[in-house]
Structure 1
Amino acid sequence: MDGTKQEIGFSSSPSNAVVTIDGKMIGRTPLTQSLKRKNTHKVVMALDGYYPYEMTLTKKTNGWVWGNIVFGGLIGLAVDAATGSLYKLTPEQVNADLKSNGTASISEEENALYVAVTLEPDASWQQIGNIKNF
Protein backbone atom coordinates (compact mmCIF):
# COMPACT_ATOMS: atom_id res chain seq x y z
CA MET A 1 0.00 0.00 0.00
CA ASP A 2 2.84 2.43 0.81
CA GLY A 3 5.41 1.46 -1.84
CA THR A 4 8.93 0.10 -1.53
CA LYS A 5 10.55 3.37 -0.42
CA GLN A 6 9.90 5.89 2.35
CA GLU A 7 10.83 9.57 2.67
CA ILE A 8 12.97 10.25 5.75
CA GLY A 9 13.88 13.78 6.88
CA PHE A 10 17.31 14.66 8.29
CA SER A 11 18.19 17.82 10.22
CA SER A 12 20.90 18.87 12.63
CA SER A 13 21.75 21.63 15.05
CA PRO A 14 23.89 23.29 13.84
CA SER A 15 22.81 22.61 10.25
CA ASN A 16 25.03 21.86 7.26
CA ALA A 17 26.24 18.51 8.67
CA VAL A 18 27.29 15.86 6.15
CA VAL A 19 24.77 12.98 6.09
CA THR A 20 26.08 9.51 5.30
CA ILE A 21 23.68 6.58 4.94
CA ASP A 22 25.04 3.04 4.76
CA GLY A 23 28.51 4.43 4.04
CA LYS A 24 27.38 6.69 1.16
CA MET A 25 27.41 10.50 1.48
CA ILE A 26 24.00 11.82 0.38
CA GLY A 27 24.19 15.54 1.19
CA ARG A 28 24.06 18.13 3.97
CA THR A 29 21.34 18.89 6.51
CA PRO A 30 18.53 19.72 6.25
CA LEU A 31 17.45 17.22 3.59
CA THR A 32 14.96 14.48 2.79
CA GLN A 33 15.98 11.12 1.33
CA SER A 34 13.95 8.25 -0.11
CA LEU A 35 15.12 4.95 1.43
CA LYS A 36 14.20 1.31 0.85
CA ARG A 37 11.79 0.06 3.49
CA LYS A 38 13.05 -3.54 3.52
CA ASN A 39 16.51 -2.61 4.90
CA THR A 40 17.76 -1.12 8.14
CA HIS A 41 20.01 1.89 7.51
CA LYS A 42 23.05 3.20 9.41
CA VAL A 43 23.06 7.00 9.54
CA VAL A 44 26.03 9.23 10.42
CA MET A 45 25.90 13.02 10.57
CA ALA A 46 29.22 14.83 10.88
CA LEU A 47 30.34 18.46 11.06
CA ASP A 48 33.86 19.80 11.68
CA GLY A 49 34.33 20.70 15.35
CA TYR A 50 31.53 18.37 16.53
CA TYR A 51 31.27 14.74 17.57
CA PRO A 52 29.56 12.66 14.87
CA TYR A 53 25.97 11.59 15.47
CA GLU A 54 25.26 7.93 14.68
CA MET A 55 22.00 6.01 14.67
CA THR A 56 20.18 3.20 12.89
CA LEU A 57 16.86 3.47 11.09
CA THR A 58 14.96 0.31 11.92
CA LYS A 59 12.13 -1.39 10.10
CA LYS A 60 8.85 -2.31 11.75
CA THR A 61 5.82 -4.04 10.36
CA ASN A 62 3.53 -1.58 8.61
CA GLY A 63 -0.05 -1.23 9.90
CA TRP A 64 -1.35 -1.96 6.39
CA VAL A 65 -0.37 -5.63 6.80
CA TRP A 66 -3.78 -6.49 8.21
CA GLY A 67 -5.60 -4.60 5.46
CA ASN A 68 -3.48 -6.36 2.89
CA ILE A 69 -4.34 -9.76 4.36
CA VAL A 70 -8.07 -8.90 4.27
CA PHE A 71 -8.11 -7.31 0.78
CA GLY A 72 -5.11 -8.87 -0.97
CA GLY A 73 -4.91 -12.24 0.68
CA LEU A 74 -1.73 -14.26 0.92
CA ILE A 75 -0.60 -13.18 -2.56
CA GLY A 76 -0.68 -9.50 -1.58
CA LEU A 77 1.12 -10.28 1.66
CA ALA A 78 3.81 -12.26 -0.19
CA VAL A 79 4.35 -9.44 -2.72
CA ASP A 80 4.66 -6.82 0.04
CA ALA A 81 7.09 -9.03 1.98
CA ALA A 82 9.29 -9.53 -1.11
CA THR A 83 9.37 -5.84 -2.07
CA GLY A 84 9.69 -4.45 1.46
CA SER A 85 6.31 -2.67 1.40
CA LEU A 86 5.45 -4.72 4.46
CA TYR A 87 7.69 -2.46 6.57
CA LYS A 88 7.89 1.10 7.85
CA LEU A 89 11.20 2.81 8.73
CA THR A 90 11.45 4.50 12.14
CA PRO A 91 12.01 7.22 13.03
CA GLU A 92 10.53 9.15 10.07
CA GLN A 93 12.49 12.29 11.03
CA VAL A 94 16.09 12.26 12.34
CA ASN A 95 17.11 15.35 14.35
CA ALA A 96 20.74 15.41 15.47
CA ASP A 97 21.84 17.76 18.25
CA LEU A 98 25.56 17.83 17.50
CA LYS A 99 27.86 18.31 20.50
CA SER A 100 31.06 20.35 20.25
CA ASN A 101 34.25 18.30 20.52
CA GLY A 102 36.01 21.16 22.32
CA THR A 103 37.92 22.65 19.41
CA ALA A 104 37.44 25.77 17.34
CA SER A 105 35.34 25.40 14.20
CA ILE A 106 33.86 27.59 11.51
CA SER A 107 30.57 26.87 9.75
CA GLU A 108 29.15 28.85 6.84
CA GLU A 109 25.50 29.06 5.93
CA GLU A 110 23.53 31.31 3.65
CA ASN A 111 24.29 34.91 4.77
CA ALA A 112 25.82 33.74 8.06
CA LEU A 113 29.17 32.68 9.50
CA TYR A 114 29.34 30.75 12.76
CA VAL A 115 32.52 30.44 14.83
CA ALA A 116 32.67 28.04 17.78
CA VAL A 117 35.53 28.07 20.28
CA THR A 118 36.36 26.01 23.31
CA LEU A 119 35.96 27.64 26.71
CA GLU A 120 38.52 25.45 28.44
CA PRO A 121 42.10 25.97 27.20
CA ASP A 122 44.44 23.05 26.61
CA ALA A 123 47.45 23.07 28.99
CA SER A 124 49.82 22.89 26.00
CA TRP A 125 48.52 26.17 24.48
CA GLN A 126 50.62 29.32 24.74
CA GLN A 127 48.93 32.56 25.86
CA ILE A 128 49.40 35.33 23.29
CA GLY A 129 47.33 38.16 24.81
CA ASN A 130 44.41 39.21 27.04
CA ILE A 131 40.92 40.41 26.30
CA LYS A 132 39.93 43.46 28.37
CA ASN A 133 36.43 44.71 29.11
CA PHE A 134 35.81 48.34 28.18
Structure 2
Amino acid sequence: MNKPLLAIAICGIFLLQSCATILSGSGDRVEVKSGNPAGAKVYLDGNFVGNAPNKIKVSKNSLRDGAIISINAPGHQDRQIKVTRKVMVGYVLLDLCLGLVPLGVDFLTGAIYKANPKEINYDLNSGNLSANL
Protein backbone atom coordinates (compact mmCIF):
# COMPACT_ATOMS: atom_id res chain seq x y z
CA MET A 1 0.00 0.00 0.00
CA ASN A 2 1.42 3.40 -0.91
CA LYS A 3 1.84 6.13 1.69
CA PRO A 4 -0.92 8.53 0.52
CA LEU A 5 -3.47 5.72 0.44
CA LEU A 6 -2.40 4.57 3.92
CA ALA A 7 -2.74 8.12 5.24
CA ILE A 8 -6.23 8.42 3.76
CA ALA A 9 -7.23 5.07 5.28
CA ILE A 10 -5.98 6.09 8.75
CA CYS A 11 -7.80 9.45 8.54
CA GLY A 12 -10.96 7.65 7.43
CA ILE A 13 -10.83 5.37 10.46
CA PHE A 14 -10.55 8.35 12.79
CA LEU A 15 -13.39 10.19 11.05
CA LEU A 16 -15.71 7.22 11.55
CA GLN A 17 -15.11 7.41 15.28
CA SER A 18 -17.05 10.21 16.84
CA CYS A 19 -17.20 11.89 20.24
CA ALA A 20 -20.15 10.04 21.78
CA THR A 21 -19.15 6.67 20.33
CA ILE A 22 -15.72 6.96 21.93
CA LEU A 23 -16.63 8.67 25.22
CA SER A 24 -20.12 7.58 26.29
CA GLY A 25 -20.03 3.82 25.83
CA SER A 26 -22.83 1.41 25.02
CA GLY A 27 -24.97 1.95 28.10
CA ASP A 28 -26.16 4.50 30.63
CA ARG A 29 -27.01 4.26 34.31
CA VAL A 30 -30.34 4.95 35.96
CA GLU A 31 -30.37 5.23 39.75
CA VAL A 32 -33.29 3.90 41.77
CA LYS A 33 -33.07 5.72 45.09
CA SER A 34 -34.01 4.22 48.44
CA GLY A 35 -37.72 4.64 49.20
CA ASN A 36 -40.70 3.13 50.99
CA PRO A 37 -40.59 0.28 51.69
CA ALA A 38 -36.82 0.01 51.81
CA GLY A 39 -35.23 -2.70 49.68
CA ALA A 40 -38.02 -3.03 47.12
CA LYS A 41 -37.27 -5.30 44.16
CA VAL A 42 -36.21 -3.62 40.93
CA TYR A 43 -36.75 -5.10 37.46
CA LEU A 44 -35.54 -3.92 34.06
CA ASP A 45 -37.77 -5.08 31.21
CA GLY A 46 -39.06 -7.91 33.40
CA ASN A 47 -35.62 -9.11 34.55
CA PHE A 48 -34.67 -8.82 38.22
CA VAL A 49 -31.66 -6.50 38.63
CA GLY A 50 -31.50 -6.16 42.42
CA ASN A 51 -33.03 -4.37 45.37
CA ALA A 52 -33.31 -0.62 45.83
CA PRO A 53 -31.22 1.45 46.10
CA ASN A 54 -29.58 0.37 42.88
CA LYS A 55 -27.78 1.79 39.85
CA ILE A 56 -29.04 -0.03 36.78
CA LYS A 57 -27.08 -0.17 33.54
CA VAL A 58 -29.45 0.26 30.62
CA SER A 59 -28.10 -0.49 27.16
CA LYS A 60 -28.54 2.28 24.63
CA ASN A 61 -30.14 -0.22 22.26
CA SER A 62 -32.94 -0.90 24.76
CA LEU A 63 -33.55 2.84 25.10
CA ARG A 64 -34.56 3.02 21.42
CA ASP A 65 -38.06 1.71 22.17
CA GLY A 66 -38.00 2.65 25.85
CA ALA A 67 -36.99 0.40 28.75
CA ILE A 68 -39.42 -0.34 31.57
CA ILE A 69 -38.22 -0.23 35.18
CA SER A 70 -40.61 -1.90 37.63
CA ILE A 71 -40.48 -1.58 41.40
CA ASN A 72 -42.41 -3.88 43.69
CA ALA A 73 -42.58 -5.14 47.24
CA PRO A 74 -44.83 -7.70 48.96
CA GLY A 75 -48.23 -6.26 49.80
CA HIS A 76 -47.85 -3.29 47.44
CA GLN A 77 -48.99 -2.63 43.90
CA ASP A 78 -46.20 -2.76 41.30
CA ARG A 79 -45.14 0.58 39.86
CA GLN A 80 -43.51 1.10 36.48
CA ILE A 81 -41.73 3.92 34.72
CA LYS A 82 -40.59 4.08 31.12
CA VAL A 83 -36.98 5.12 30.55
CA THR A 84 -36.55 6.79 27.19
CA ARG A 85 -33.62 8.42 25.45
CA LYS A 86 -32.59 12.04 25.19
CA VAL A 87 -29.98 13.58 22.88
CA MET A 88 -26.78 14.80 24.56
CA VAL A 89 -26.41 18.30 23.11
CA GLY A 90 -22.72 18.59 24.03
CA TYR A 91 -21.81 15.66 21.80
CA VAL A 92 -23.86 17.12 18.95
CA LEU A 93 -21.85 20.34 19.15
CA LEU A 94 -18.54 18.47 19.28
CA ASP A 95 -19.53 16.29 16.34
CA LEU A 96 -20.56 19.34 14.30
CA CYS A 97 -17.05 20.71 14.77
CA LEU A 98 -15.70 17.50 13.21
CA GLY A 99 -18.23 17.38 10.38
CA LEU A 100 -21.42 15.55 9.52
CA VAL A 101 -19.92 12.04 9.32
CA PRO A 102 -19.18 11.76 13.09
CA LEU A 103 -22.62 13.15 13.88
CA GLY A 104 -24.23 10.54 11.64
CA VAL A 105 -22.19 7.75 13.24
CA ASP A 106 -23.26 8.80 16.74
CA PHE A 107 -26.93 8.88 15.75
CA LEU A 108 -26.75 5.56 13.90
CA THR A 109 -24.99 3.76 16.77
CA GLY A 110 -27.25 5.38 19.39
CA ALA A 111 -24.22 6.58 21.34
CA ILE A 112 -25.43 10.19 21.28
CA TYR A 113 -28.40 9.40 23.55
CA LYS A 114 -28.63 9.23 27.34
CA ALA A 115 -31.24 7.67 29.59
CA ASN A 116 -34.13 9.85 30.69
CA PRO A 117 -34.88 9.94 33.64
CA LYS A 118 -31.54 9.48 35.43
CA GLU A 119 -33.02 9.02 38.95
CA ILE A 120 -36.19 7.35 40.19
CA ASN A 121 -37.74 7.93 43.61
CA TYR A 122 -40.50 5.67 44.89
CA ASP A 123 -42.99 5.42 47.73
CA LEU A 124 -45.07 2.28 47.26
CA ASN A 125 -46.99 3.03 50.48
CA SER A 126 -48.61 6.07 48.83
CA GLY A 127 -48.32 4.73 45.28
CA ASN A 128 -45.98 7.50 44.16
CA LEU A 129 -43.21 7.02 41.63
CA SER A 130 -41.31 10.13 40.56
CA ALA A 131 -38.38 10.77 38.31
CA ASN A 132 -35.60 13.35 38.24
CA LEU A 133 -34.78 14.24 34.65
- Fold-level match, TM-score > 0.5? yes
Percentage of identical aligned residues:
26
Q: Are residues 1:70 and 2:92 paired?
A: no
Q: Are residues 1:81 and 2:103 paired?
A: no
CA distance in 1, matches of 2:37, 2:109: 36
Contact 2:60 2:113 in 1 (8 A): yes
Q: Which runs of 5+ in 1 are unaligned?
A: 102-134
Match of 2:47 among 11, 24, 36: 24
Give the structure with higher Rg (CA): 1
CA drift at 1:66: 2.2
In structure 1, the residue matched to 2:32 is: 10
* Aligned length in residues: 100
Contact 2:29 2:115 in 1 (8 A): no
CA drift at 1:100: 6.1
Structure having the higher strand fraction is 1
Could you say what secondary structure the match of 1:13 adopts? coil
Q: Which runs of 5+ in 2 are unaligned?
A: 1-19, 128-133
Contact 1:50 1:100 in 2 (8 A): no
Question: Which stretches of structure 1, 4 residues or more, deviate above 4 A after TM superposition?
Answer: none
Q: TM-score, normalised by structure 2?
A: 0.67
Match of 1:99 among 115, 125, 128: 125
Q: TM-score, normalised by structure 1?
A: 0.67
Structure having the higher helix fraction is 2
